Chain A
Amino acid sequence: MHDTIPSRSGALAVAREQGRAIVAVLPYHYPRALLRAHRCHPIEVWGPPFEPGDLGALHFQAYTCGIVVKATSFLVREGFDRVDAVLVPHGCDALQGMGSVLGDFVAPTPPVLTFYPPRRARPADRAYLVEEIRALGRRLAEVSGHTPDEADWAEALAAEEAADAALADLYHRRGRLDVDDRRFYEVVRAREYLTAEDFTALAASLPEHDGAPDADGDVGLLLSGIVAEPLDLFDRLRAMGARVVADDLATGWRRVYPPSTLADPYERLADRLLAAPPDPTLGAPLDARAGLLVERLRASGARGLLIYDVTFCEPELFAVPVLRERVTAAGFGVLHVEHELGTTLPNQTLTRIEAFVETLR
């Protein structure tokens, strides 16, 4: 097992050495293999939590999602100088505002690219998405100066799909892995910035238990939300006698894209994005999502659903009452807490989670 997971800076250096243009990518659905085929490398920006929001607050009101405010701060402070382009996928009104403000007013030297995934998965959505991916490809070609040929596509699809398969395999092997939740999510989230090969190797290196896992007394939780920050959350859950047995996180299971058998690379990328697990930012019908969460609670052995939302996150907040209704009716506990994206966990939040875990024993 890798003792130390390479940092974002380390991954950036590796990609530069490989001659790839660096693209800072905001959350969170985008066709990663498209970037690779165009000799670009994505480094995702999820805040970061430790970034002060001061420079972002020069552009966005106090009621704006912390990811957008901190990411803007980070890019203005140092990020723009380190990348060749910024990609803002349209996932919500806050990211829409960010993409627009960066392009129209901040106007940094690296170009700001945007990408709008459809909010349904109908034939019209599929046809549109294929063209939207082509349009993004044209912009990426301008950034890297490279237009992919057949060999580029084959190489990019093979590498990125292997990494996606490795991510899916992590979830598949989850119960057998001999790592704690914090380590598991550190590895899962390394997909946000490592090259496909490095991530695949990292994921494969996680050890499995020799015998049966020793977690009988723990309370299993299904963790839902955008991002589980700070990672201390997992340490605190362990101290409470709880563990995360499944998730519905944007930084986790929501990006376990199923494979596709389509031959055309653009159609293949669209096919995989449209088959993503139910996600409010992709317009997943609420009832279908709630039903699947109940199924996953049952299958994972979780006793409750912990909805852990970043403040001001409308896509997540709207769903809470219906999820609560459906999950409670199925006999599971539900707790919803909101958190400011940052490096510390308020004691009040921890107390609520601890009380929730106690009720599930």
Chain B
Amino acid sequence: MNLPTTLSDLRVHGEHLLQFQVLGSTALRVQRLRNERKLGALRMGPDDVLAPPPRALARMQELMSRHYLEGRYANGVRKVAWVTSGAPWEPLEALGFFPVYPENHAALCGVRRRAEANCEEAEAHGYSRDLCSYARTDIGTVLSGETPVGRLPRPDLLVCCNNICQTVLYWYEVLAHHFDCPLVVIDTPFLYGEAQEHQVAYVRRQFDEELVPTAERVAGRTLDERELVRVMLEARDASQLWREVLDRSRHRPAPMTAFDGFLLMGPIVNLRGRRATTEFYRDLLAELDARVERGVGAVAHERYRVAWDNLPIWYRLSKLSKLLAGRGVNVVASTYTYAWGELAPLMDPTDPLGSGARVYLHPILNRSTGHKLEAMRTMVEGFSLDGVILHSDRSCKPYSLGQIDQRDQIVDTLGVPALLLEADHNDPRAWSEEQSVNRIEAFIEMLETAAS
């Protein structure tokens, strides 16, 4: 935390203390307790197609709301880093940075139906509609200042890691131009096969020569190795717990849906490396275990179990969830949510930067189309799936290119139906309700035919 040295600093720190630490946090805690009581009291009615969401959802909402609330008052109190969702966060957490994940913020805009307006703002400034809708939402927010979280803090540092796509390279160049602040690029060669030593060494060297020195300079302090180890330990434990949470849906009936997972993943993406995040996932896991023990399923009558590939369609989460659940379909697994859990075994707290180089090379989005097919094959077997929905996301080309062959292979070699659903993760203008629902209905009929 920056220490106040002027009157202006004192005012900024005072606001942070009063508005965030005292008033805001207290109000959010009270709200969470109320929500927990409400969720705890909910019972599934005879006409409900979905069980009440996990009670832990209230805690997740508190964590995320608290995070965005602090963001409003962060400038001048904490150094702020805007980072990509696959960026090596742990050294920055250990240096005390406040994180902003523009992708997460964009998703939030999508869920709250604010993404379209922000996309249009970016388009009005010349950004093509063919660009990623997360990027357009974010750039639109930067240009207009419009956000459902009140205010996003200005970055002191930008960290872009292209292990999720090349798009972020160009997107963060635009941000660097706008904010005129340092940009650290962590370049992670795409893995067409197994990682080679020179690729791992390359990423590690960028940590040592670029990320840590630049972050230290901006933070005005030196990275404490013990703090980094502690953060890495928390990050590993939380990632492992998140993976176990997702694995609970191997049970039949599954205690949660992938749609729950899309919301519950907020802390592992945004708040990795903090004790509160680890505790949150520990509590969530315990709640799911209790559900499993009682035989409570997330979908009232789970008849078919499917996987979701690619990003969610944020502006249709609830509708899609209900549409599928109403027909007895539970989306029990997702390649997307696993991305923040499957790398836990690679995290070694005794060698945070060394193991981090491997971790940040291996997200599913930085691996081949064949590897992704293998991941889906494993899910089909491990989760006893009846089908796969592949969201062909025009805004996420690295995730989507390859899906035509993947779908064909799933159908031909695994013998389960697979649907290629055309949409866009954040731009509702790319969504065709009638056409999409028809395709989903046809897919469900295929599931029924295959089952009979």
Contact = CB atoms under 8 A, between A and B. Distances in A.
Interface of A: 58-61, 63-64, 90, 92-94, 96-101, 103-105, 114, 116, 118-120, 122-125, 127-128, 131-132, 135, 280, 283, 285-287, 311-312, 314-315, 317-322, 324, 336, 338
A283 B403 CA distance: 27
Contacts of B397: 63-64, 93-94, 97, 314
Given A97-B369, A124-B206, A103 B192 contact: yes
B166 interface: yes
B405 A131 contact: no
Contact of B401 (A94, A120, A124, A319): A94
Contact of A122 (B196, B209, B370): B209
B198 A93 contact: no
Interface stretch (B1-9, B40-48, B122-130): B122-130
Contacts of B169: 119, 280, 283
Given A99-B192, A118-B187, A128-B198, A314 B170 contact: yes
Given A314-B132, A318-B127, A128 B370 contact: no
Given A98-B401, A128-B205, 4 more contacts: A93-B166, A94-B397, A135-B198, A314-B130
A128 B170 contact: no
A125 B125 contact: no
Q: Across chains A and B, which 8 residue pairs bring their CB atoms closest together, nearest first?
A: A97-B401, A104-B370, A318-B170, A131-B198, A321-B126, A128-B202, A105-B405, A286-B173
7 contacts: A61-B404, A118-B187, A127-B205, A286-B170, A314-B166, A317-B128, A318-B173
A57 B132 CA distance: 21
Contact of A101 (B165, B183, B402): B402
B187 A120 contact: yes
Which of A90, A104, A131 gathers most chain B CB within 10 Å?
Answer: A104
Contact of B190 (A90, A315, A319, A336): A90
* Interface SS, B side: helix
A334 B195 CA distance: 43
Contacts of A64: 397, 401
A93 B165 contact: yes
Given A61-B392, A114-B192, A283 B400 contact: no
* Interface SS, A side: helix
Contacts of A322: 174, 177
Contacts of B130: 63, 311-312, 314, 317
A320 B126 contact: yes
Interface of B: 125-128, 130-132, 135, 162, 165-167, 169-171, 173-174, 176-177, 183, 185, 187, 189-190, 192, 196, 198-199, 201-202, 205-206, 209-210, 368-370, 373, 392, 394, 397-398, 400-405, 409, 422
Contacts of A123: 209
A268 B135 CA distance: 37
A120 B169 CA distance: 11
A105 B177 contact: no
A61 B196 contact: no
A191 B166 CA distance: 27
Given A105-B405, A320-B126, A127 B369 contact: no
Contacts of B401: 60-61, 64, 93-94, 96-98, 100-101
